[in-house]
Every structure is written in C-alpha cells, then in structure tokens.
Amino acid sequence: MAKNPKDIKKNTKAAIADAPAAAKGTVPAKGGERVAPESGSRSAPIINIGIDRQDRAAIAEGLSRVLADTYTLYLTTHNFHWNVTGPHFNSLHAMFMAQYTELWNSTDVIAERIRALGHYAPGSYAEFSKIATVPDVPQQPPKAMEMVRILVKGHETVSRIAREFIPVAEEAGDDPTADMLTARCTVHDQTAWMLRSLLEE
C-alpha cells in the first residue's frame, strides 16, 4: 500500500526532531541508519536558499535513498552488460550499456543536488546496502531474459521511491528537486516499459 506523501514528510520531520543526533543535522534513514549528514563549517555562511533546514534534511534523506537505489541498479545493469549470453547477446549487450551509462550519469546529478541542499551524499557500498531498496546484483549471472526481468523490477522500484519524495519537495517549495525526481521517474518508467516489451510474446 502506497504511503501518503504528507505522512512521509510528517514522520520524517518527527524522526529528525526526536533523533539524538538531530542537533548535528543528521537524518534518520531506513532501518534506523542515518544518511546525508549536514555539511558546512563556521567559516561558511548559513545556507539561505528559501528552504527550511528541516525540509532540506527531509529532502536530502529522500534523495540519498534514490541515489542508493540508482547506484545499485547501475551496478546490476553493468554486471549484466558484462555477463549476458545467448542468442540476444548483441542487442542486450548494447542496450545494457546505454542503460548503465544513463544511470551512471544520473548519480552525479542526484548527489550534487544533495550537496546543494547542504548535506553530504552517501557514497560507499556499506551505506548503500543499508538504505537501498533495489536488491544487490545476483552472485550467479542469470539467463538473459531473467536479467531483463530483474531490471524491469529495479527500474520500477527506483521510480516508486522517487515518486514518494516528489510531494515532499513540492511542499517545501523545492522545485528543482521535484523536477529532477519527475524526470528520473520518466526515465525509469520508459526503461521498464522497453525492457518489459522484450518479455512479451
């Protein structure tokens, strides 16, 4: 059952306020882990971009989860590019390369938006594994069409996670983040459709 975006924002803000490290600007994340710690120093001016600190923290948390899922999906797609076999090798090898390249480029956009909001972007396998919803790459490379099925689910997952946080950004007046997440949903929805079409008889 989909979460109410208003509840997401309310619960996230409540968790931030209740968290022991809230005074340091850290943000609770999935499973009790903390992501996107606040950046800055005494020598730098306080961020004043028209978005409250608490809202920036909530948005940075959402973007960190999208980043973790995007990177995990990137790695899975690159792995499948390397390991795909069978009669559809040429077409899938090329398709997966185009997809992992797009995903790789998008990680920079997402991470830099987190930084623009005054938070550090997560960037380690340990951090990503704690907050990602997309499963890790299978240890044993699956058959070609099973790879396609896995990627369909992965793109749909990232799209769902991104959609959860669009209303959070909109309510905070963060149009750049809302627009970016909307654009990401468009890419993931279209990619999932193209991959799913390969499975239809």
Give residue 42's pLDDT band: very low, low, confident or very high (50, 70, 90).
low
CA-CA-CA-CA torsion sign (154, 84, 137, 123): negative
Does the pLDDT of residue 124 top 70, yes or no?
yes
Q: Which domain holds residue 103?
A: 5-15+24-39+48-199
pTM over 0.85, yes/no: no
| Total tally of structural domains belonging to the chain | 1
Q: In the prediction, which pLDDT does 200 show?
A: 87
H helix or E strand, kind and range, residue 28 = strand 27-28
pLDDT at position 41 is 58
How does the average pLDDT of the chain come out, rounded? 85
Mean pLDDT score, 59-75: 97
Vertex 180, ends 36 and 55: CA angle to 5°?
A: 45
User: Whole-angstrom Cα distance, residue 128 to residue 36?
Assistant: 12
Residue 27: pLDDT above 90? no
- Give the domain CATH number at 175: 1.20.1260.10
Please write the tens of the pLDDT for every residue from 131-182. Answer: 999 999 999 999 999 999 999 999 999 999 999 999 999 999 999 999 999 9
Question: What is the sign, positive or negative, of the torsion defined by CA atoms of 117, 14, 50, 181?
Answer: positive
pLDDT number for residue 45: 74
Q: Is the pLDDT of residue 11 over 70?
A: no
* Range in 10-19, 60-69, 109-118 the model is least confident about: 10-19
Range 120-139 average pLDDT? 94
Lowest-confidence segment of 6-10, 17-21, 109-113 by average pLDDT = 17-21
Q: What band does 48 get if pLDDT is binned at 50, 70 and 90? A: confident
